[in-house]
Structure 1
Amino acid sequence: MTTRRHLLATAAALAALPLASRAALSEPKGRVVLTVSGRIGIRNAGDAARFDMDMLAALPQHSFSTKTPWYPQAHKFTGPLLRDVLAAVGAQGRTLRAIALNDYKVELPVEDATRYPVVLARLLDDRPMSVRDKGPLFIIYPFDSDESLRSERYYSRSAWQLKMLEVE
């Protein structure tokens, strides 16, 4: 795909995101667990958008069970879709840089959020995740729904202990 066609496809995918981004983003009342910065149109803290757990829980929630390389059996992951979080901040980029509490960094294409039901998991088996258990937030792909997702490419994009997303 040419660069121009890729840009048009990405722009169309972002335009198809839910219209949640048209509403103002409230201020976090609790401890901030996620900061989104970069190419975003909606902010609630200077040049960034900050979320507490209640704000993430207020977005539509999605769940799926899947096997992962990090647990011996399938687990249920619940949270907002990554695409809904991006829509809430009016994200306008092509790439996300996910940064974890331990400073692990990984880049993932925004297209992943529109192509797959990637969840920003805040619950594991219906319980909040502690830092010890890969929480409080975990980018998780539905690995069992598509064989192509069961690869190092997507496993490496599944950042746990997520604290920040930079939209580029």
Structure 2
Amino acid sequence: MSTCAIALEAPEGPVILVVSGEVGQPNVGNEAHFDRAMLEALDKHETITHTPWYDGVVRFSGPLGRAILEAADAQGENMRVVALNDYAATIPISDFENLDVILAMQADGRALRVRDQGPLFVIYPFDQRPELLNEEILSRSVWQVKRIEINE
């Protein structure tokens, strides 16, 4: 990741994502905390795709994973993405760098709530890259994301 030129501001609203570990732009202690407004201000992307969790095609939107890593100036090879229920998946940082993986905040224009796999859901571009529709990648599609731990 490139070094972030602007310091990451402290969140003003409720924190919905914490990025910890190898973080070059912390804003709370040695972690990068993000509220909804901070995530919405990042490079937004839309992915229109089928998934095993929804019927039909869904339009997901949210920040690109790489935009979150850049904002936190995350440095590492892998990250552990942790859900509210403590389910965790290890994802290579290269997935976020090389694929348009988003942390979806909306599905079909509606905010994702906890009951809808929200507030954040790791979404890969399955329809654009059908080879991603496999057990390994599906296990990385963490929903109800609360934390990303960056590892060297």
Q: Give the TM-score of the pair, scaled to structure 1.
A: 0.88
The C-alpha deviation readout for 1:63-110, integer Å capped at 9, x for no partner, is: 021000111211011011000100001111000100000100100000
Deviation at 1:42, TM superposition (A): 0.4
Q: Aligned partner of 1:117: which letter?
A: D
Counterparts of 1:89 and 1:148, CA distance in 2: 30
Q: Which residue of 2 aligns with 1:107?
A: 90
- Map 1:70-149; keep pairs closer than 5 Å: 70-149=53-132
Counterparts of 1:123 and 1:146, CA distance in 2: 21
Counterparts of 2:71 and 2:25, CA distance in 1: 7
Of the three residues 26, 33, 39, the one matched with 2:22 is 39
Q: Which residue of 1 aligns with 2:35?
A: 52
Q: Aligned partner of 2:125: which letter?
A: P
Deviation at 1:158, TM superposition (A): 0.6
Q: Determine if the alignment matches structure 1 residue 165 to structure 2 residue 151.
A: no
Taking only the aligned residue pairs, the percentage that are identical comes to 46
Deviation at 1:147, TM superposition (A): 1.7
The gaps in structure 1 that reach 5 residues or longer are 1-13
Counterparts of 1:137 and 1:73, CA distance in 2: 20
Q: Which consecutive segments of 4 or more residues in structure 1 shift more than 3 A?
A: none
Counterparts of 1:69 and 1:95, CA distance in 2: 25
The C-alpha deviation readout for 1:96-149, integer Å capped at 9, x for no partner, is: 100000100100000001111000111111111110000000111000111210
Counterparts of 1:151 and 1:45, CA distance in 2: 37
Structure in which a larger fraction of residues adopt strand: 2
Q: Determine if the alignment matches structure 1 residue 153 to structure 2 residue 140.
A: no
Q: Aligned partner of 1:122: which letter?
A: M
The gaps in structure 2 that reach 5 residues or longer are none
How well do the aligned residues superpose, as a CA RMSD in angstroms?
0.9
